[in-house]
Amino acid sequence: MFNVIRNEPTPVSLAGKRKYDSQDVLDALNIVFHKKCYICETSEPLDINVEHFIAHQGDEDLKYDWKNLYFSCARCNNIKLAKFNDLLDCCDEEIDVLRAIKHLPPRTPFAKNLLIEAQSDDAKTQLTAELLNKVFNSDHTYNKKVSAVSLRKKVFAQYNLLFEQMNEYYKPLALPRDKEDAIERIKLLLEASSPYSAFISWCILEDDELGPMLHDFIGRAE
């Protein structure tokens, strides 16, 4: 997960409480969440849902509450449903959702799973980690298994971009300008708008040299 700043005003169409997924709502959510699913971090998913962070279950106030509407892909929305109703909130400025749950990418494009690990024992963090594990590693149905494989391959492809830049940075004959270019490209991969930035961030956090150097660019809400 990644932190965002919900600084867009309440879309006008929500005032009438007739439809919560009107074009102005989708446009505003696109801006807030950088066109990324807030759960799996897939950028510009083909199937977009307006997801209720707290399941409304018929409650009109929750159904049309701007602060309860999140940008999600259809797959994550289908997995989350009402069971995962008390998650870490990526819009809460007091919560560092990235550091709360370790995300490590697969080492090969066809790895069977990737590491999702809660960093504390509190209920919200544990439940959020459980959801993310289902999203990235689920195999309880054939369709979920196939889509999880595809998702892990996308995460691996983004990790590969990072690995290329780390190789450039750590080359024995790298010139100062080569290192500077590599660092600037890594910063792009760390941005909240970049797909699967939580996985990239954790790779950097676990690097003794790059972690301290890029500390201020990791998990920064935008």
Q: Using one digit for the tens of pLDDT, what is the confidence trace for 194-206?
A: 999 999 999 999 9
Contacts 24+ apart (CB under 8 A), 106-114: 106/152, 106/155, 106/156, 106/159, 108/156, 109/152, 109/153, 109/156, 109/157, 110/149, 110/152, 110/153, 111/152, 111/156, 112/137, 113/137, 113/152, 114/152, 114/155, 114/199
Indicate the SS3 state at residue 104. strand
User: Is there a domain that residue 92 lies in?
Assistant: no
Q: Using one digit for the tens of pLDDT, what is the confidence trace for 73-120?
A: 999 999 998 789 999 999 999 999 999 999 999 999 999 999 999 999
Same domain, 50 and 122: no
Displacement of CA 18 from its chain's centroid (Å): 29
What confidence tier does 139 reach under pLDDT thresholds 50, 70, 90?
confident
Q: Using one digit for the tens of pLDDT, what is the confidence trace for 53-77?
A: 999 988 999 999 999 999 999 999 9
Q: What is residue 77's predicted lDDT score, i.e. its pLDDT?
A: 95
What total number of domains does the chain contain? 2
Same domain, 212 and 103: yes
Same domain, 72 and 108: no
Which of 22, 52, 80 is at the close of a domain?
80
Same domain, 67 and 105: no
Range of the domain at 53: 12-80
CA–CA distance, 130 with 21 (Å, rounded to integer)? 27
Which residue's entry shows tokens 């391959």?
153
Q: Using one digit for the tens of pLDDT, what is the confidence trace for 149-207?
A: 999 999 999 999 999 999 999 999 999 999 999 999 999 999 999 999 999 999 999 99
Torsion of CA 126, 131, 137, 138, to 10 degrees: 130
Same domain, 102 and 76: no
Task: Please say if the pLDDT value at position 5 is more than 90.
Answer: yes
Same domain, 62 and 134: no
Q: What is residue 193's predicted lDDT score, i.e. its pLDDT?
A: 95
What confidence tier does 220 reach under pLDDT thresholds 50, 70, 90?
confident
